[in-house]
Amino acid sequence: MSNIGSPLVKLNDGHAMPVLGLGTSAPAEVAKKEVEEAINIAIDVGYRHFDSAYFYQNEEEIGRAIGKKIASGTVKRDEIFCTSKLWSTFHRPELVQKALEASLKKLQMSYVDLYLIHSPMSFKPGDELLPMDAQGKLIYDTVDLCSTWEAMEKCKDAGLAKSIGVSNFNCRQLEMILNKPGLKYKPVCNQVECHPYHNQRKLLEFCKSKDVVLVAYAALGSNTKKQWVKKGNPILLEDPVLNAIAEKYRRTPAQIALRYQLQRGIVVLAKSFNRKRIQENFQIFDFQLTPEDMKTIDDLNRNIQYFDGSTSEDSPDLDD
Ligand code: NAP
Ligand code: WDW
């Protein structure tokens, strides 16, 4: 990575990651093409980090958008940081590299900058992303995540992923990888839901102590109507305290919520497909929250999770 638009953080494997990334997942009713225009705008604004996943079924569009920007000479491949994720039906070690190769083919890339285990939950292998039984319950698989991790390490050695990491892992699951006998590469990051209503203070402390970067998703509170998002929770960006702080700095609540994460040493994702908001979310490198305001935002923590797909009561892999 060189000569890029946003500040970088150094990862524990020597690579670097832009501290702000564009989220790319949109609800099913949003036209697939929209992500292409969003990436177009975002690259012009200065974004270089794009968060994708096999599960989002948008890798072709993302690859096309980035490919065009490279072809036109706006950016070089090595200035882009592109993430994809191993879906839960591919956790068996013999499926991991094939899954990454399928993502790379869609992305039209020879490597991803970061490949993550999307979730610690394993699902029955097969063509269905969400394999269900007759009662409509997810069919889980039992896979030793340490064996999945060893297959991830092989992908890095094969040059298909510059860096490897995890997502939606709790402390115990992360520690299990870190303590694996013969570990070759540590996860560079753990991508989890993180925002002022669920600030992940303990997981952040743990990650920092292990030189694992915490990457925040749903950093803006994710927003309503999504299939995976719980309804009835208070809307983060309408929070009065966040809004009062925003007024004081003449910024928006979104900019405050993103800046808050940067100052905690967290890499932050923000999804927007709207030109004005894509620009707005990038304007977070030219101001600073005071320690007092950081503390005030810390105190908004209330264990609200917007996203209920990352954990499941009946998953054999998750007991806490
Ligand atoms: P998010 O980034 O917290 O919020 C996105 C929502 O906020 C969109 O509805 C967006 O609408 C709106 N928004 C964006 N900027 C705004 C602003 N400045 N003011 C007001 N509203 C604004 O939610 P997310 O998409 O759930 O999470 C971000 C990304 O993280 C995802 O796209 C995905 O890449 C990743 N993610 C990963 C996982 C995982 O399991 N690893 C889970 C969830 C998400 P507009 O588009 O209309 O602006
Ligand atoms: C596990 C982990 C589903 C979906 C999902 C399961 C998961 C995501 C908003 C943005 C995911 C919510 C993107 C859905 C069972 N992660 N998204 O990344």
- E strand or H helix at 14: none
Report the alpha-carbon distance of residue 261 to residue 34 in Å, rounded.
27
Residue 230's pLDDT band (cuts 50, 70, 90): low
pLDDT digits (tens, 9 = 90+) for 65-122: 999 999 999 999 999 999 999 999 999 999 999 999 999 999 999 999 999 999 999 9
Q: Which atom of ligand 2 is nearest to the CA of 271?
A: 10
Judged by its nearest atom, the ligand closest to the C-alpha of residue 192 is 1
Q: Catalytic residue, from 47, 54, 56, 306: name it.
A: 56
Residue 217: which of 172, 165, 271 has the closest Cα? Answer: 271
Average pLDDT of the chain, as a whole number: 94
Position 293 pLDDT exceeds 60: yes
Judged by its nearest atom, the ligand closest to the C-alpha of residue 230 is 2
Alpha carbon 12 to its chain centroid, in Å, reads 17
pLDDT digits (tens, 9 = 90+) for 118-131: 999 999 999 999 99
Position 3 pLDDT exceeds 60: no
**Average pLDDT over every residue of 179-186:** 98
**Average pLDDT over every residue of 38-45:** 98
Q: Which residue out of 56, 217, 228 has the highest number of ligand 2 atoms within 8 Å of its CB and is therefore the one to mutate?
A: 228
Position 228 pLDDT exceeds 90: no
111 a catalytic residue: no
The predicted model scores a pTM of: 0.96
> Are 131 and 89 a contacting pair, CB within 8 Å?
yes
Q: What is the sign, positive or negative, of the torsion defined by CA atoms of 113, 116, 118, 124?
A: positive
| Collapsed DSSP state (helix, strand, coil) of residue 22 | strand
Position 13 pLDDT exceeds 90: yes
At residue 269, φ and ψ (nearest 5 deg) are -105, 145
Q: Which pLDDT score, from 0 to 100, does residue 233 have?
A: 87
Residue 6's pLDDT band (cuts 50, 70, 90): confident
Residue 309's pLDDT band (cuts 50, 70, 90): low
pLDDT digits (tens, 9 = 90+) for 20-37: 999 999 998 999 999 999
Residue 138: which of 153, 149, 122 has the closest Cα? Answer: 122
Position 177 pLDDT exceeds 60: yes
pLDDT digits (tens, 9 = 90+) for 245-272: 999 999 999 999 999 999 999 999 999 9
Gyration radius of the chain over CA positions: 19
Ligand 1 surroundings by CB, under 6 angstroms: 23-25, 51, 118, 167-168, 191, 217-223, 237, 252, 254, 269-274, 277, 280-281, 307, 310
Q: Which pLDDT score, from 0 to 100, does residue 273 have?
A: 98
Q: Is the CB of 119 under 6 A from ligand 2?
A: yes
